[in-house]
Amino acid sequence: MGTPAFPNLGKHCSVQNCRLVDFLPFTCDCCHQVFCLDHRSYSRHQCPKSNKNDVTVAICPLCAKGVRLIPEEDPNITWESHVNIECDPSNYEKATKKRKCPVPRCKEMLTFSNTIKCRDCSIDHCLKHRFGPDHQCPGPKKPDAASQFLSFFNGSKKDVSEQAPVASSSKWSTSFLKAAQSFKATAEAGMARLSNEFNQALSTNGSTTNQSGSTSGQVEVCPICNLRFSTVGALVDHVQRIHEKNGVMKATLDVCPKCSKGFRDPVSLVEHVEKEHRGVSKA
pLDDT at residue number 250: 53
Residue 170 CB: number of other CB atoms within 10 A? 13
Is pLDDT of 63 > 90? Answer: no
* Confidence grade of residue 89 (pLDDT, cut at 50, 70, 90): confident
The whole-angstrom separation of Cα 8 and Cα 6 is 6
SS3 138: coil
Task: List, for residues 98-142, the tens digit of each pLDDT value.
Answer: 788 989 988 888 888 889 888 888 888 898 888 888 888 887 765
| Strand ranges for the chain from DSSP E | 11-12, 21-22, 26-27, 34-35, 56-59, 66-69, 116-117, 124-125, 220-221, 228-229, 244-245, 248-249, 254-255, 262-263
Highest mean pLDDT among 3-7, 147-151, 249-253, 272-276: 272-276
Q: What is the DSSP letter of 56?
A: E
**CA torsion through residues 237, 243, 244, 245, sign:** positive
Instruction: Collect all residues with Cβ–Cβ distance below 8 Å to 266 and sequence separation of at least 6.
Output: 254
Average pLDDT over residues 251-273: 73
* Confidence grade of residue 283 (pLDDT, cut at 50, 70, 90): very low
Q: Which helix (H) or strand (E) holds 185?
A: helix 167-212
Q: What's the pTM value of the predicted model, to 2 decimals? A: 0.29
Is pLDDT of 35 > 90? Answer: yes
The whole-angstrom separation of Cα 267 and Cα 254 is 10
The whole-angstrom separation of Cα 222 and Cα 220 is 7
The whole-angstrom separation of Cα 31 and Cα 24 is 18
Task: List, for residues 161-197, the tens digit of each pLDDT value.
Answer: 455 444 444 555 666 677 777 777 777 776 777 677 6
Select the more confidently predicted residue: 222 or 79.
79
- Report how far Cα 56 is from the mean position of its chain's Cα atoms: 43
The answer to whether 160 and 148 have CB atoms below 8 angstroms apart is yes
Is pLDDT of 198 > 60? Answer: yes
pLDDT at residue number 34: 93
Cα 91 to Cα 74, 94, 111, 146, 181, distances in angstroms: 26, 5, 19, 42, 54
Backbone φ and ψ for 180, nearest 5 degrees, come out as -65, -40
Task: List, for residues 211-260, the tens digit of each pLDDT value.
Answer: 444 444 446 777 777 777 878 788 888 777 777 654 555 555 667 777 77
**Residues recorded for the chain:** 283
- Bridge partners of 117, per DSSP, are 124
Instruction: Collect all residues with Cβ–Cβ distance below 8 Å to 138 and sequence separation of at least 6.
Output: 120, 121, 166
Name the percent of the chain lying above pLDDT 70: 69
Average pLDDT taken over every residue of the chain:
75
Report strand pairing: 34-35 vs 124-125: unpaired
pLDDT at residue number 266: 72
One-letter amino acid at 97 equals K
Q: What is the DSSP letter of 9?
A: -
Highest mean pLDDT among 34-48, 64-78, 213-227: 34-48
